[in-house]
Amino acid sequence: MGHIKELAGKEGLFTGGHRLCAGCGIPVVVRQFLAVTEHPVIVAAGTGCLQVASAIYPYTAWRTGFIHSAFANTASTISGVEAAYKALKRKGLTDKEFHFIAIAGDGGTYDIGLQALSGMLERGHRVVYICNDNEGYMNTGVQASSATPLGADTTTTPVGARSKGKERERKDIIGIVLAHNVPYVAQVSPAHWHDLTSKAKKALKTEGPSFINSLTPCPRGWRSETHISMELCRLAVDTCYWPLFEVEEGVWRLNYRPRIKRPLADYLRTQARFKHLFLPENKDILENLQASVDRQWEQILKLCDGN
């Protein structure tokens, strides 16, 4: 209880009055993360839902330093800022401490921004990179990204006579990031606020790059009811579609184990992008999705054995 009182008493660094959609998970993630910062914050965000809805000149929802970067180079932009800060510090021109945070969606992380992210991780910049993963290019019309799940109905993988939705499973971005041997990586859900803020604190104190992947509901793209976004996040965790874990210096740790592992269908049927999967002719896709979740969950349990 003390933790939530402490967070509630802090001035919000991301204000109301922005233009993000009702039910959007992005402002929840951003507010929770910024609530645990201890130093002045510099945020870089690429073009996307967050940027276009929170920083339209002459208005801004940010009480931090904020840089709008191009879609593809959020990680490069914040890397340059962090490198410039280190240079100033070496020259004795500043003794202040700052947090450097990059925020991008799955399109700007898994796909078009992957090269910039890889460079930032490889060079070892002290930056926290947050991916708001809403599983598609929502800002430009709900196109599929490599984070979009198998079978999802999007504008570029439309369901019809010749298509049953996206044909490939989502990319393993956590595995790609871990291949860079970074000190801290975690997966979070905004419905589990204590877990998210605890991991945010660890990431902010990490010497070197850290990566946080957050499930971020998009009622427009998921075709879900706006008032159930946090319930969707809970279902994603309780079905083990979106496990909560962290990898600290190579050591995997499971942060939440559902008392009852719910069937994936409980999560999928809340979103109209998957409604076609419940037709008899698409039973195989639904079974493949469940099998994939079960397989990945077992792999994570083995990696986190005893932790």
pLDDT at residue 293 tops 90: yes
Domain residue extents for the chain: 2-303
- pLDDT at residue 57, rounded to an integer: 87
Instruction: Provide the pLDDT for residue 4.
Output: 67
| DSSP state string for the chain | -HHHHHHHTSPPSB-S---PPTT-SHHHHHHHHHTT--S-EEEEEETTHHHHHH--TT---BSSEEEEE-TT-HHHHHHHHHHHHHHHHHTTS-----EEEEEEESIIIIITTHHHHHHHHHHT---EEEEEE-SSBTTTTSB--TTSPTT---SSS-EETTEES--SPPP-HHHHHHTT--SEEEEE-TTSHHHHHHHHHHHHH-SS-EEEEEE---HHHHT--GGGHHHHHHHHHHTTSS--EEEETTEEEE----SS---HHHHHTTSGGGGGGGSGGGHHHHHHHHHHHHHHHHHHHHHTTT-
Query: Residue 10's pLDDT is what?
Result: 74
**pLDDT tens-digit series, residues 195-210:** 999 999 999 999 999 9
Checking 135-141 for CB contacts under 8 A at 24+ apart, the result is: 135/106, 135/170, 135/218, 135/221, 135/222, 136/106, 136/107, 136/218, 136/221, 137/105, 137/107, 138/49, 138/105, 138/218, 138/220, 138/221, 139/47, 139/48, 139/49, 139/52, 139/105
In this prediction, residue 5 carries a pLDDT of 65
The tens digit of pLDDT for each residue in 172-191 reads: 999 999 999 999 999 999 99
Residue 268 has pLDDT above 50, yes or no: yes
Rounded Cα gap, residues 142 and 161, in angstroms: 20
Please identify which residue in the block is written with the tokens 């201890």. Answer: 38
Separation between Cα atoms, residue 124 and residue 100, nearest integer Å: 13
The answer to whether 245 touches 302, Cβ cutoff 8 Å, is no
227: pLDDT strictly greater than 90: yes
With a cut of 90, say whether residue 145 has pLDDT above it.
yes
Q: What percent of the chain has pLDDT over 70?
A: 97
Per-residue pLDDT of 86-107, as tens digits, reads: 999 999 999 999 999 999 999 9
- pLDDT of 306 reads 73
CB of 66 closer than 8 Å to CB of 53: no
Handedness of CA 158, 161, 167, 170 (dihedral sign): positive
Q: How confident is the model at residue 11 (pLDDT cuts 50, 70, 90)?
A: confident
The yes-or-no verdict on residue 159 having pLDDT over 60 is yes
Identify the band that residue 131 occupies on the pLDDT scale cut at 50, 70 and 90.
very high
Binned at pLDDT 50, 70 and 90, residue 144 comes out as very high
24-37: average pLDDT = 96
Model confidence at 53: pLDDT above 60: yes
* Amino acid, single-letter form, for residue 143: Q
CATH 3.10.129.10 fits 2-303, yes or no: no
Tell me the average pLDDT across 44-63: 94
Q: Is the pLDDT of residue 1 over 50?
A: no
Q: Is the peptide bond before 263 cis (omega within 30 degrees of 0)?
A: no
